[in-house]
Structure 1
């Protein structure tokens, strides 16, 4: 799988098939996949170069059009899956691991004061449900399911399910089983 680009790995998560460049272009009618393409392409170009500036303008247009506030500076692992489009906000300093699913309405934000001042770091194979809020200098482990509408402002260990507002968690070895499909190895 190392011969495939990050973009191909992102698109693999949607269909479970390795796609050619032409097949990727055919999927542009899906706003979430179109945005992933633009994000990954923008991430390839340094900010200070002409191409970097052009791609950032294009990406900004589609951030507004689709409602995805994800910046090219955000560190996101391979296999990103955006289940639906609209109203998604991710702080550019956040770190997100591989094979993560992020639903609509999610906020991954910075805390500007208090004991958790800073931004979240999210592990691999994390499923984040609709309208969940993850805020502060916290660590979310691997294989974690964050339920819809959960408010998480503390560390969540690996192999856990977080639910509620404020969130509580329970350990579960199969936390994301059936939620994260077509994983990149």
Structure 2
């Protein structure tokens, strides 16, 4: 995030995904106090911004970010590229590799791992495009691309690319339809 305006834009986009209402300071405070996922995202975004601007405020932000990371069981490095409108439905046991790329309006559920593959032809980390829903317990590994409007079912293990609007389930995950994530992703920015 280059400037403070961009930081606010990202925070209010995340807020919209949680509330579906336009930005306002009262709403921000209410969501911060009631939604653990949003509280974590707030400090994660602040860490990402202040780390690039060499501000002493960064150390306070990082302390809050680490506190909520441990408290809510979220292992998402603040340097991970996560676009606007990120939504953590329920906190707990979510692990995302710092080199993963996550597009706009993505939903992540508890028990999700977006990790790195250290060998084979898919050496690397996943890229999730816009409007992706990742169900509870799903695991995504390797240099794979998850297309736009994809829904990944609960406990699926995804190790291959998924085309746009695909719905994948199983171990290993297979495309079962092309109905996409349209019913899972609401309040798009």
TM-score range, shorter chain: over 0.9
* Displacement over 6 Å in runs of 4+: none
Q: Identify the match of residue 85 of structure 1 among 84, 91, 94.
A: 91
1:170 positional shift = 3.5
Query: Is 1:11 equivalent to 2:15 in the alignment?
Result: yes
- For residues 149-160 of structure 1, what are the structure 2 equivalents within 5 Å? 149-160=155-166
Match of 2:27 in 1: 23
Map Cα deviations across residues 116-166 of structure 1 (whole Å, 9 max, x no partner).
111111110000000000011111110100000000011111110111011
Query: Is 1:53 equivalent to 2:59 in the alignment?
Result: yes
| 3-state SS, counterpart of residue 175 of structure 2 | strand
Could you tell me which runs of 5 or more consecutive residues in structure 2 were left unpaired when the two chains were aligned.
1-5
How many residue pairs get aligned? The number is 181
Query: Is 1:183 equivalent to 2:188 in the alignment?
Result: yes
Query: Is 1:94 equivalent to 2:76 in the alignment?
Result: no
Distance 1:93 1:56 in 2: 19
Q: Identify the match of residue 134 of structure 2 among 128, 148, 154.
A: 128
Deviates more, 1:153-162 or 1:26-35: 26-35
Any conservation in 1 of the 2:138–2:154 contact (CA below 8 Å)? yes
Q: Identify the match of residue 34 of structure 1 among 24, 36, 39.
A: 39
Match of 1:140 in 2: 146
Match of 1:118 in 2: 124
Distance 1:69 1:22 in 2: 28
1:171 positional shift = 4.6
- Measured on the aligned residues, the alpha-carbon RMSD in Å equals 1.6
Deviates more, 1:45-54 or 1:109-118: 45-54
Higher helix share: 2
TM-score of the aligned structures, taking structure 2 as reference length: 0.90
Map Cα deviations across residues 39-66 of structure 1 (whole Å, 9 max, x no partner).
1111211255422233222211111011
Distance 1:171 1:159 in 2: 8
Could you tell me which runs of 5 or more consecutive residues in structure 1 were left unpaired when the two chains were aligned.
none
